[in-house]
Amino acid sequence: MSKKTVEDVSFQGKTALVRVDYNVPMKDGVVVDDTRIVSTLPTLRYILDDGGKIVLCSHMGRPKGEPKPEVSLAPVAEKLAELLSEAVLFADDDTVTGKKAQRVAEQLKNGQARLMLLQNTRYRAEETKNAGEYAKELASFADIFVNDAFGTAHRVHSSNVGVCDYLEGVLGFLMEKEVRTLSKAIDDPVRPVAAILGGAKVSDKIGIITHLIEKVDKILIGGAMAFTFLRAQGYETGISKVEEDKLDLAKDILKKAEQKGMRFLLPRDVKAAKAFEDTAEYVVREIDKIGADEMGLDIGPKTIKMFVEELKDIKTVVWNGPMGVFEFDHFAEGTLKIAQALASSDCFSIVGGGDSAAAVKKLGCEKEISHVSTGGGASLEYLEGKELPGIAAVSDK
């Protein structure tokens, strides 16, 4: 069902409570990466141009329900003002919605500025519990609610779900793009569509595998996850990461793929090392030749070639999970080569998952992917086919 966005309502003469994700990296009280702030500017400018005022709210870090100066949003207000070339009032209120914040809201009403930022929503314990009167207090600052924080869309918190009990909610441009792009790739893709899955554990991704196996035409498996499947097929995998308690599950998944007649591809070779280290010496091993004291840390050259070949006729790719330990230079090649293959094809590609997005960024291939989701956990839950509460809570069109 499609949801209302900022374009479906009027902000003229209204104040909007805008939930953003300003959980930005900080060092010594200074914002070191303003990407997340910059990415909200289109929504903010749209509301201002439409004649609205803005009360912003966000969490930062995990202050666990009490004021913690190191995660105060004060430096964020400064950065935002600089980026917008416009005053942003900061409500330096340890209770977030108390008297101090209300006085700043008066200044907003009086026309001293068009924007204000509330203190870190997680200074209050009710935030993550969506409990008590907190959502009502947040809502009291505004006439309408705009959710532009995809990163918390899978959470039921006061500042994204609770507030919708008191205000009409709509999506901002960032959220709208995430929802539109993910739903297109998963529920209405141009076929054939492939899923590339990797990363740390099968157990983290059971929901994703069982959902995507019903949606896609082909599944390519890399990362540590591959070893649980390979073991389930009877291969000796040395000291590679294997989840012994998930072998039966892996067998079930393999059987299901076979019944469906779909291509479910596992690595043919790996880069194997004796230690989990950045500069570990490695050898390329065929999948039936992994030594008892070796672990696979990346997919090997034959596998890369096979995966690239398998992706040639593919029109849509959904990717979660790095192909290897991309954090180590020796074991980043598999992930890099797959990203490059996507770049040189005309397919539509999306990447979801926190570490997967980090991998694509670290390897400098973000531009080669059509859409890298900004929400780690939220994108994973979306790939599992779950409804995201932060999206469900806003108004339907």
Which residues are registered as beta bridge partners of 88? 115
Closest to Mg ion by CB, 120 vs 152, is: 152
Closest to Mg ion by CB, 176 vs 243, is: 243
Active-site residue 361, yes or no?
no
Q: In the bound complex, what is the minimum distance in angstroms from residue 199's beta carbon to Mg ion?
A: 6
Q: Which does 267 bind (CB under 5 to 8 A by kind): Mg ion, ligand ADP, none?
A: none
Active-site residue 353, yes or no?
no
Asked if 354 is part of the footprint of ligand ADP (rule: CB under 6 A), the reply reads yes
Closest to ligand ADP by CB, 162 vs 223, is: 223
> In the range 61-80, which residues lie near ligand ADP by CB under 6 A?
none
How many helices and strands (H and E) does the chain possess? 15, 17
Q: Left (φ > 0), alpha (ψ -120 to 50) or beta: where does 377 sit?
A: alpha
Q: How far is CA 41 from the centre of its chain?
A: 19
Asked if 224 is part of the footprint of ligand ADP (rule: CB under 6 A), the reply reads yes
Is residue 344 packed enough to be buried (19+ CB in 10 Å), middle (13-18) or exposed (0-12)? exposed
> In the range 298-327, which residues lie near ligand ADP by CB under 6 A?
320-322, 324-325, 327
Rounded CA separation 265/218 (Å): 8
Asked if 126 is part of the footprint of Mg ion (rule: CB under 5 A), the reply reads no
Q: In the bound complex, what is the minimum distance in angstroms from residue 178's beta carbon to Mg ion?
A: 18
Active-site residue 377, yes or no?
yes
Rounded CA separation 116/97 (Å): 12
Asked if 294 is part of the footprint of Mg ion (rule: CB under 5 A), the reply reads no
Q: In the bound complex, what is the minimum distance in angstroms from residue 299's beta carbon to ligand ADP?
A: 8
Q: Which of 382, 282, 369, 387 is nearest to 322 (CA)?
A: 369
* DSSP per position, 325-379: -TTSGGG-HHHHHHHHHHHTS--EEEEESHHHHHHHHHTT-GGGSSEE-S-HHHH
Q: Which stretch binds ligand ADP (CB under 6 A): 194-202, 253-261, 301-309, 382-390?
A: 194-202
SS3 313: coil
State the catalytic residue, choosing from 201, 215, 274, 285: 201
Residues 6+ apart with CB under 8 A from 289: none
Q: In the bound complex, what is the minimum distance in angstroms from residue 242's beta carbon to ligand ADP?
A: 10
| Residues near Mg ion (CB under 5 A), total | 2
Q: Which does 321 bind (CB under 5 to 8 A by kind): ligand ADP, Mg ion, none?
A: ligand ADP
Query: Mind telling me the catalytic residues?
Result: 36, 201, 354, 377
Instruction: Report the interface residues with Mg ion, using CB under 5 A.
Output: 354-355
